[in-house]
Chains A and B, each alone.
Chain A
Amino acid sequence: MIVKLKVNGEIRSADVSPETTLLKLLREHLNLTGAKLGCDVGDCGTCTVIVDGKSVNSCLMLAGRASGREVTTIEGLASSEQLHPLQETFEELGALQCGFCGPGMIISAKALLDKNPEPTVFEVRDALSGNLCRCTGYTKIIEAVLDAGRIMSTAEAKS
């Protein structure tokens, strides 16, 4: 079956078998390997992408269901000139260690900050509750999300 969707602002299409998940479509057909396969059952969040503004586990969504929708992956955040504030603060504050959870973590945080740029610690924790990290102990990740939120709301106020 042909799946046609918008990924990071570009129209993309692929011919996939019906059982193909959105994650497999992205990784194996579109070569976007930023989203990872960690558990394949929706527990770990390493496969998180944004579909029509909502963060979803792409390992649980069939590619066919993503047809006609708008998908943002980790590869769609930075431009060749500029990192996304989340990518800056995650790097700066050491929120990434082995880095495997990073793309999913940053995408979940982006879905939160796009709606609520000044979240409380509890709102950040809640938004990241579907993303597991085994290295950092989460503290630096939460700091990085709060910091990125501050940068984003300051930039918005200036413009």
Chain B
Amino acid sequence: MATKTKEVLESKVKDSEIEDLTAPDNLKVPAKPALKPVVVPVDKPVVYPLDLPESEIRLRTPAVGQRASRPDGRLHGLGQTQYIDDMTFPHMIFAKILRSEHAHAKILSIDTSEAETMPGVLATLTGAEIPVNSFGPTLQDQPVLANEIVRHAGDGVAAVAALTEQQASDALSKIKVKYKPLPAVFDPLEAIKDDAPKVHAPRSNIYASKTIKKGDVEKALKKSDQVFHKQFKTQMVEHVPLEPHSSVAMWDANGRVTIYSSLGRITLGRDDLARTLGKPMNKIRLVGTIVGGNFGGKNEITTEPILAILSKKTGRPVKGTFTRGDEFISSTTRHPFVMDYTTGVKKDGQILGRKIRLVLDGGSYCSWTSTTLGKGGILAAGPYDIANLLVEAHAVYTNKTTTGAMRGFGAPQVCFAYESHMDDMAHALGIDPLEMRLRNAFNEGSVSPTGQLLQSVAIKESLQQAAERFGWKESTK
């Protein structure tokens, strides 16, 4: 089959029809009716590789259904993969970071003098010594080490480099930080109120917003037979990669910095390093290696600039690895969402209009919030053809752990809301939940909430086949 596939593929490459379909600016619905999806009979279990008819689409995706193995699987199994924490360099020393115990406080003073006299300690660092003490992929609102205000319990305030990790940890307890506690806010719905404590005073706590409008939602709700309203909430989630964040920095005598890091986005990281260290980018070499689990939590720099400056101060390679505790309190997490859904339907289940308000708990710093807000907002209405729609999404600062990227960028939160809402409405209307979805799902040529014409829409077929395969009808009898 492989040779035949190749032949057909080659003969088809010149086919102008295929080029038409894949042209990026072509928004036309293909004139040809879509090929019927492959139906797998219930009595025949699926075996891989799938033995599928050689349809045109199938021949264009010959890799689907074939076994593939990871190129790095062998070394993983042998225990020979080198993660950052497995690396050592001659004369390497270790850094630890002191973290704030206050959710919101003004830093009055930081005294590292006693820590510097501790055995094995070679250097200490505070935020005032960092050339440009702010970073972030969208807004540069996060200090590398806080030196004026701490905005959540977990903000780094000072660092120590010592000969061993134990000596560095011991020295942290000798750093004296005087704080003046400030009122803090933890609930995103409290944080949007005018009189709430400002996390980044004098700026408003609402730091990013998105509105999506389609049709006339108020009119549609008035015309509806029934209007449903419900609030949904999701919680904060930590990625818990099994490999904690880890980096090693080496500042050489010519002023070049080499950093090995568990960071996933090294180009963006290099940009942030150049900015925080006040160096041209060509003086910074950032080496990414195999990452022991990212899930979105290793998409921005964390301690890399601290390690770089400690290396400059000591002339030694400096390694910094998060403890599991650091991972929970100072790396990013998934945004908790507060989602208000108002949906107007006809008696037969057809959705006429939907109004959504999303409030994202943005934590203490922006990180990837704007991306999450955008994607969450765009997907908030679900895969349903809704002519009248209003989505208002806001991200707010709170004095909690920073929220950022995590698999799906807001998609899982809104999916939980719109699907739960769908079930509630179906039950109230006495309509089968599957039927309720089939009546409203996107069709070939439907227009998305943001105006894109949709192609290759197979949601109804997918739902029907899935329902058939797992016995939906039987299970609801």
Residues 255-304 of B at the A interface (beta carbon under 8 Å)? 290-295
- Measured in the bound complex, the distance between the Cα atoms of B321 and A102 in whole Å is 20
Judge whether B77 and A83 touch: CB under 8 Å: yes
Chain A contact patch, size range: 35 or more
Residues of A within 8 A of B76 (CB): 90-91, 96, 99, 102
| Bound form: Cα–Cα A33–B246 in Å | 15
Interface size class of B (residues with CB under 8 A): 20 to 34
B128-173 residues with Cβ-Cβ distance < 8 A to A are 166
B242 x A91 contact (CB < 8 A)? no
- Is B419 located at the chain interface by the 8 A CB criterion? no
Q: Check A38–B244 contact: CB distance below 8 A.
A: yes
> Apart from A37-B321, A86-B77, A98-B291, what are 11 other A-B pairs with CB-CB below 8 Å?
A33-B79, A33-B85, A34-B80, A36-B83, A40-B324, A74-B79, A75-B78, A87-B77, A98-B242, A98-B243, A99-B76
Q: Which one of B70, B242, B293, B321 lies within 8 Å of A94 (CB-CB)?
A: B70
Q: Does A106 contact B (CB under 8 A)?
A: yes
A75 CB, nearest partner CB in chain B, Å: 6
Task: Report B-chain residues with C-beta under 8 Å of the C-beta of A132.
Answer: 240, 242
CA distance A130 to B403 in the complex (A): 29
CA distance A8 to B295 in the complex (A): 34
Q: Decide: B86 and A33 in contact? CB cutoff 8 A.
A: yes
Q: How distant is the Cα of A93 from the Cα of B421 in the complex, in angstroms? A: 39
Chain B: minimal CB distance from A74 (Å): 3
Q: Which 7 A-B pairs have the closest CB atoms?
A: A34-B79, A99-B76, A100-B292, A74-B79, A33-B86, A87-B77, A91-B73
Contact between B77 and A36, CB atoms less than 8 A apart: no
- In the complex, whether B315 has a CB less than 8 A from a CB of chain A is no
Whether B242 lies near A103 (C-beta < 8 A) is: no
Minimum CB–CB distance from A62 to chain B (whole Å) comes to 14
Contacts of B78 in A (CB 8 A): 34, 74-75, 77-78, 83, 87
Least Cβ–Cβ distance between A103 and chain B, in angstroms: 4
Report if A92 contacts B (CB, 8 A).
yes
Q: Which B residues are in CB contact (< 8 Å) with A46?
A: 242
Q: Could you name 30 residue pairs across A and B whose Cβ atoms are closer than 8 Å?
A: A33-B79, A33-B85, A34-B79, A34-B80, A38-B243, A38-B244, A38-B324, A40-B323, A40-B324, A74-B79, A83-B77, A86-B77, A87-B74, A90-B73, A90-B76, A90-B77, A91-B70, A92-B69, A94-B68, A94-B69, A98-B243, A98-B292, A98-B294, A99-B81, A99-B290, A100-B243, A101-B242, A102-B76, A134-B240, A135-B293
Chain A contacts to B: CB under 8 angstroms? 19, 27, 33-41, 43-44, 46, 73-75, 77-78, 83, 86-87, 90-92, 94, 96-103, 106, 132-135
Least CB distance from A22 to B in Å reads 16
- The residue in A77, A83, A86, A102 that gathers the most chain B C-beta atoms within 10 A of its C-beta is A102
Closest A residue by C-beta to B73 = A91
Please name the residue on chain A nearest to B239 by beta carbon: A134
Q: Report the bound CA distance from A92 to B242 in whole Å.
A: 22
Interface residues of B (CB under 8 A from A): 68-70, 72-83, 85-86, 166, 239-244, 290-295, 321, 323-324
A contact residues around B83 at 8 Å (CB) = 36, 100
Minimal beta-carbon separation of A41 from chain B (angstroms) = 7
Residue of B nearest to A41 (CB): B324
Give, as a whole number of angstroms, the nearest-CB distance from B231 to chain A: 30
**What residue of chain A has the Cβ atom nearest to residue B87's Cβ?**
A33
Whether A134 touches B77, Cβ cut-off 8 Å, given contacts A41-B324, A94-B70, A98-B293, is: no
Bound together, the chains give a CA A86 to CA B76 distance in angstroms of: 12
| Docked-complex contact A36 and B70, CB < 8 angstroms | no
Beyond A40-B323, A73-B79, is A91–B74 a contact (Cβ under 8 Å)? yes
Within the assembled complex, what's the spacing in Å between the Cα atoms of A99 and B82? 10
Nearest residue, chain A, Cβ from B86: A33
Set of chain A residues within 8 Å of B290, measured between Cβ atoms: 98-99
- On whether the beta carbons of A96 and B70 are closer than 8 Å, the reply is yes
A91 CB contact (under 8 Å) in B69, B240, B291, B294: B69
**Nearest opposing residue in chain A for B292, CB measure:** A100
Let me know if A36 and B324 touch, CB within 8 A.
no
Residues in A neighbouring B81, C-beta threshold 8 A: 99
A34 to B294, CA, bound (A): 20
A43 to B242, CA, bound (A): 11
How far does the Cβ of A128 sit from chain B's closest Cβ, in whole Å?
A: 14
Cβ of B85 and Cβ of A102 under 8 Å apart?
no
Separation of A114 and B159 alpha carbons in the complex (Å): 46
Residue among A36, A41, A75 having the largest count of chain B Cβ atoms under 10 Å: A36
